[in-house]
Amino acid sequence: MRFAVLVFPGTWSDRDWHHVLTNVLGEQADLVWHRERDLSAYDAIVLPGGFSYGDYLRCGAIARFSPVMEAVRREAARGKLVIGSCNGFQVLCEAGLLPGVLTRNVSTQFRCQDVYLRVETARTPFTSACEVGDVLRMPIAHGEGNYYADAETLARLNAEDRVVLRYCTPSGEVTPEANPNGALESIAGIVDEGRNVFGLMPHPERCSEALLGGTDGLFILRSMLSYGRTGIQA
């Protein structure tokens, strides 16, 4: 597969994504500046973490207007895989590609720590290598990861099996104590209606090598590769 790793002013997880995709998984990946208007040559698109435009207005609120986002919308509508982690999730929500919004952590603190995530659905190109109920461990690093959506949107996400990950304990129990940012219903990741656009606050690219302390992020990435090569969820 060929990946486009988008780079906005203030992005800082782009190199992590590029390293894992190319050096760990052996795939093709290009760093694509936010002024690019054509992503048709790519099979999948990554919106990495960071502080796009310094998050000076609101996380992701300025990046949504970058020229590349029209190309992201176009390729997403064609069914290509789009994944946004951390700030990438925020940008996808601000751009209307995913519902809801990411707000300030209830603690008002920046949280940089490992969290546990319960897989709520395997019916996505991003979690097909998992089983429902699996618990993954990944790092977070954000100050605005508190997912919010109105009651109608939350009901629709649940009814359509679009909540992908929830914060949980190591044993898989969803509790307030296991929620690092106050996200409604402990939501850590969701997909769009087409199930090909995925946003999550944790960083799978930072737990894809044993040297860094864990490889659970590979469940996400290998699911994408399986789908990209066959069009069938693993």
**Per-residue pLDDT for the chain (234 aa), expressed as one digit of tens each?**
999 999 999 999 999 999 999 999 999 999 999 999 999 999 999 999 999 988 777 888 888 999 999 999 999 999 999 999 999 999 999 999 999 999 999 999 999 999 999 999 999 999 999 999 999 999 999 999 999 999 999 999 999 999 999 999 999 999 999 999 999 999 999 999 999 999 999 999 999 999 989 999 999 999 999 988 776 554
How many domains, in total, are found in the chain? Answer: 1
Alpha helices in 62-208 (DSSP H): 68-77, 87-94, 151-159
DSSP label at 169? -
Closest CA to 95 of 124, 59, 125, 126: 59
Q: For residue 181, what are the domain limits?
A: 2-230
CATH number of the structural domain spanning residue 106: 3.40.50.880
Residues taking part in catalysis: 86, 203, 205
